Amino acid sequence: MMETFLIYLLIPALKIGVVVLVLSGAIAYLTLLERKVIAHIQVRLGPMRVGWHGLLQPIADGIKFLAKEDIVPAKADALLFTLGPIISLIPAFLVFSVVPFGPPDMLQGVLSKALGFLLPPEGVEQVVTNSIASGGFVTDLNIGLLFLLSVSSVGILGVILGGWASNSKYPMLGALRSSAQMVSYEVALGFSIIGVLLIARSLSLVEIVEQQQASGIWYFALQPVAAVLFFICGLAETNRLPFDLPEAETELVGGFHTEYSGFRFSLYFMAEYANMISVAALMTTLFFGGWLQPFPNVPWLWFLGFIPSFMWFSIKVFLILYVFIWIRGTLPRFRFDQLMRYGWKIFLPVALANVIVTACLVWLFTLRG
C-alpha cells in the first residue's frame, strides 16, 4: 500500500514539482541569457545593474510584471482574452512530462538511501526498480512523441485566441500569420522526426535514447538532414527569429500579444520561452542522445561518466538554446512569402526525400542482418 502510494503518487508529484520549478527558473534565466548574448554580439554589456552582472534581472522583471496594472481592452472578448495566455502556457509546460532528463534508473541511488528508514528492504526494492518512481522523467509514454506533438499544437490555439480576442488589428494579423506559419512548418517538423522513428522503431522518447545508446552513436550522425530540418522548423514553431513574423516588433508592434500587459503578457512570454526549451530538449533527445555522454560506448571516455546524466542533458539543451539566441543575433526576419516558399517548396520536399531515403536504407540493412 505504502509502496503503491509512493510509486504512483508521492514521488511523481515531487518530480512534477521539481520539473515545474526548474523549468520556471530556466525560463527566467533564459531571458537573461538571451539579453546577455545578444548584447555581447552587439558589443554591449546588457543588464548590469540588478545584482552581479544583472543576475537578479529576471526576478526584478517578474516583480515588475506582477505589479503592473491588469488591462483588458474595452472591446476585447474578456473570457477568451483571459483564456489565451493560459492555453498557450499549459501545453508548453505539459510537454516536459514526457521528456526524459535521465535514464530510467537515475534516481535509484537517491531513493534507496532516502527510503531506507521508511520501508522494509523488499519495499525499497519494489519502489526503486519501478521506473515511474526512479526514472529521470515524469512519465514514459509508449506514444510519447505523438503526445508531445499533439500537445504542443494546442499551444498555437492560445496564440490564435489571444490575437482574435484582443479585437485589434495588429494582434489579429499576428494570429493569422502564426496560424499559417505553424501549420506549414509543423508538417516538415513531423516528417523530419519520422527518419528517427524509423531507425529507433519506437515512439517512446526514453526508448529512442536507449536505442541511441545501443547503436553507440547519436542520431545526429545518422540523420543530419533531419536534424537541420528539425532545428529550422523548431525555430519557426517557437516564433524565433528569423521566423518571428507573428510578433514582428517592427511591423506588428508585438503581434498577437500587443494588447496584453502585466501578468497576462508574462504568461505568453513564459510560454514562448518554455517552447524554446522544449524544442531544444526534444532536439537533444531525438538527435543528440538525450542524457547520454558523447560516444556512450567508447571505453576510454569513461571519465565523462563523472558528469551525471541530467547534467549532460542540460548542457546539450543549453548549447542548442545558445544557437537559438545566436541565430537571433545574426539573421534578419524573413518576408512572409519567403517564409511560405521555404516551408512548402524546400523544407517539405527535403523532409519527404529524407523519409524515403531513410526508409529504403533501413529496409536494406534489416534485409541483410
Partner 1 sequence: MQFIKRFLFLDILKGLWLTFRYTFTPVYTEQYPTERPKLAARYKGAPRLNNDPETGETLCIACDLCAQICPEDLIVVGVQRDPESRKKVLTTYTFDTSRCLFCGLCQEVCPTNAVELTQDFELATYDRSTMLWDRSRLEKGWKRIEYGESRNFR
Binding residues for partner 1, per CB under 8 A? 37, 40-45, 48-49, 326-327, 329-331
The CA distance from 286 to 99, in Å, is: 10
Q: How far is the CB of 73 from partner 1 (least distance, A)?
A: 37
The contacts of residue 156 (CB under 8 Å, 6+ apart) are 88, 178, 179, 182, 183
Nearest-approach distance from CB 288 to partner 1, in angstroms: 19
The one-letter amino acid at 367: L
- 4 vs 42, beta carbon nearer partner 1: 42
Which one, 307 or 331, has the nearer CB to partner 1?
Answer: 331
Toward partner 1, which CB reaches closer, 12 or 329?
329
* Residues 275 and 155 sit within 8 Å (Cβ to Cβ): yes
Q: Give CA angle at 173 (88, 266), nearest 5°.
A: 35
Picking from 209, 222, 219, 227, the residue whose alpha carbon sits closest to that of residue 309 is: 209
Closest distance of CB 39 from partner 1, Å: 8
For residue 235 the three cell numbers come to: 525555430
Q: How far is the CB of 330 from partner 1 (least distance, A)?
A: 5
CB nearer to partner 1: pick between 36 and 316: 36
Q: Which three cell numbers stand for residue 285?
A: 533527445
φ/ψ bin of 133: left (φ > 0), alpha (ψ from -120 to 50), beta (otherwise): alpha
Please report the DSSP string for 243-264 in residue order.
Answer: S-TTT-HHHHTTGGGTT--HHH
| 26 within 8 A of 149, measured Cβ to Cβ | no
CB 183 within 8 A of CB 206: no
Task: For the CB of residue 58, give the shortest distance to partner 1 in the complex, in Å.
Answer: 19
Closer residue to partner 1 in complex, CB, 28/323: 323
CB of 238 to partner 1, least distance (A): 18
Cβ density class 212-250: b for 16+ within 10 Å, e for less: bbeeeebbbebbeebbbbbbbbbbbbbbbbbbbbbbbee
Query: At closest approach, how far in Å is the CB of 52 from partner 1?
Result: 9
Residues in the chain: 369
- Between 326 and 363, CB nearer to partner 1: 326
Find the shortest distance in angstroms from Cβ 76 to partner 1. 39
Cell numbers at residue 191, please? 516528417
Q: What is the nearest approach in angstroms of partner 1 to the Cβ of residue 16? A: 36
Name the one residue in this structure whose C-alpha cell is 537573461.
Answer: 32
CA 60, CA 308: separation in Å to the nearest integer?
A: 32
Of 189 and 271, which has the nearer Cβ to partner 1?
A: 189
For residue 54, the 8-state DSSP code is G
Angle at which helix 205-215 crosses helix 144-165, to 10 degrees, equals 130
Which CB atom, from 37 or from 206, has the smaller least distance to partner 1? 37
Q: Which is nearer to partner 1, 49 or 368 (CB)?
A: 49
- Would you give the DSSP letter of residue 307? S
Q: Between residues 42 and 129, which has the closer beta carbon with respect to partner 1?
A: 42
Q: How far is the CB of 225 from partner 1 (least distance, A)?
A: 10
